[in-house]
Amino acid sequence: APDRVVAGPKYLAGYGASRGGRDYEDADVSESDLWNIYLPPFRAAVEAGAGNIMGAYMELNGVPASGNRWLLTDVLRDVLGFEGWVVSDANAVKSMVAQHFCRDLTDAGARAVDAGLDMEMCMDDPAFGGLPDAVAQGLVSQDAVDQAVRRVLAAKFRLGLFENPYVDEAATASVLDAPAHRETARVAAERTAVLLKNEAILPLDAAELSSIAVIGALADSQRDTLGPWVFEHDVGETVSILAGIRARAGDGVRVDYAPGVWAPERVFASMFDAMDPTTLASPVDVDADVEFARAVQIARNSDIAVVVVGQPQNQIGESASASHLALPGRQLELLQAVRDTGTPVVVLVMSGRPLDLRWAAQNAPAIMQVWYPGSQGGAAVANLLFGDVSPAGRLPFTWPRTGGQVPMVYNHYRTFQPENQDKRYFDEESTPLYPFGHGLSYATFHYADLVLDTAQLTTGQSATVSVSVTNTSARDADEVVQLYTHQRYGTSSRPVRELQGFERVFVPAGGSRRVALELGPDQLRYWSAVTRDWVQDATVLDIWMGGSSEAELHTEVEVVHAR
């Protein structure tokens, strides 16, 4: 349809498991992790109707994804049932020559098509340009090339590109300027922010404040508010955090601003900076110590200090791997100096990865992760700070204390001496700073009456798990109810907890909601290295429901094999 686009999940597969956390590096992933962790999102996307899949750059277990027939055909098509077309990442096919997997470009194009890759994305000198020679040399069959062409043409037919090959450029401005889209952008930012810590300092009350200090270069950076991988954008329409706070606080509250410090520039420039003239370098014609002192003085003279820390947008995303998780530059030093003024501090974190917040977690009364909140981000953040919206975002990853803990996941195994898992390091707890699924609210919730609708679960059977959630505060709010399980014994060891479902629900002040989530064989089966196949065991399941992966409300059920 002319008003639709094709959904294309990427990158297949294991891209997030690159060695050392370095973009483009190879990934060595066990079959168990592939089937149980990395492939299920692609399966879900295919089942939801994804029409395209993008392959990854890197070698997966020694084989580049663009030439990996097992991955692109045996798994993606034969097992996951994908019927759309597969495209390479930029220059990934020709890169197989540089990766010393293919002899030359003709060989690379032939092996990619034979593996099941249908379209090459390439900046110049494409490997697919040699396909006629590859067919003539017998490196790839004409049938394989025809199949790739058919898949691409079928997608174009479904999109209506042969009937309507061009977009209405005149309509672009009105679509992008639509007020409803700005509203959606603001709401999305409000719903995704995560309140990590709050010692009764938030929400702010403008009626009780005469002055606010907003500190941090990111607070007044429209470009950084948008985040990375944004092109053809209108920076001027972006609401920065500073602008959002000023607008929401109103004329009765003085809002002073100082950048204080700037993040150091990248050691190696980002290739995307050359494509984006709105990315500005940190100023060099300022007295760093003077600006630092000015920020501290502004904080000292204010009722409250909102300090925005994090990473500029060109230090996150593609080609922006980091060797550590420390706050860039002197941001921690500035945060400490602001705290020492005695002015209460709210820390806003603008980043796409977890940063080292150990000091802030111990010393700042409030911390909110706002990510890169987008074109209406400043308005959204202000609404959250002043309580127009209660935060209900939840962490989609486990937040480590330091980079030395990475990779750190909530769904780890019990392993040897599980009672000492928090003491694996001799110098610091081996626990997360904030657990997976964590996120606070301005409301308070009580969970009770956890019920499974069957006394015994048979393999292949589904059950419903339900719980009562009561808002025990005077504030309406959303809560994210999460369901976790643990299998006590079976063919293989299983993680200590696995998220099996969640639902975001609105619960009015003083009200209660009964939340029911499905628990079925697709969630309880797993790929076992013992059988090298999918299994669902007869076992005992621990079940928890609550507000994070550390939920305490528990029940259990016996699982038996069907007779």
What are the 10-residue block averages of pLDDT along the chain, 563 residues in total? 85 92 94 96 97 96 97 98 97 97 98 98 95 97 97 94 88 86 96 97 96 98 95 90 97 97 93 88 90 98 98 94 96 98 98 97 98 97 98 98 94 93 92 98 98 95 97 98 98 97 98 97 96 97 98 97 87
Q: Report the distance separating Cα 498 and Cα 558, nearest Å.
A: 17
DSSP assignment, residue 88?
P
The pLDDT, as a whole number, for residue 1 is 65
Phi–psi pair at 481, nearest 5 degrees: -85, 130
Q: Is 413 helix (H, G, I), strand (E, B) or coil?
A: coil
Whole-angstrom CA distances from 203 to 188, 391, 394 are 19, 10, 18
Tokens matching residue 351: 């980043």
Output the pLDDT for position 223.
96
pTM, full prediction? 0.95
Whether 130 and 145 have beta carbons less than 8 Å apart is answered as: no
For position 2, what pLDDT does the model report? Answer: 67
pLDDT for position 233: 87
What secondary structure does DSSP assign to 307-370, as a single string? EEEE--GGGSSTT---S--SPSTTHHHHHHHHHHTT--EEEEEE-SS----HHHHHH-SEEEE-
**Coil vs helix vs strand at 503:** strand
Q: In what order do the strands lie in the sheet with 512-519?
A: 445-452, 463-471, 512-519
CA-CA distance, 413 to 143, in Å (whole number)? 46
Q: Which of 364, 332, 363 is nearest to 346 (CA)?
A: 364
Among 3, 28, 78, 89, the active-site one is 89
CA distance 46 to 44: 5
Q: Where are the beta strands (DSSP E) in 417-548?
A: 445-452, 456-458, 463-471, 477-487, 498-507, 512-519, 526-528, 533-535, 539-546
Nearest to 139 by CA among 104, 89, 91: 104
* DSSP β-bridge partners for residue 63: 60
Catalytic residue check, 89: yes
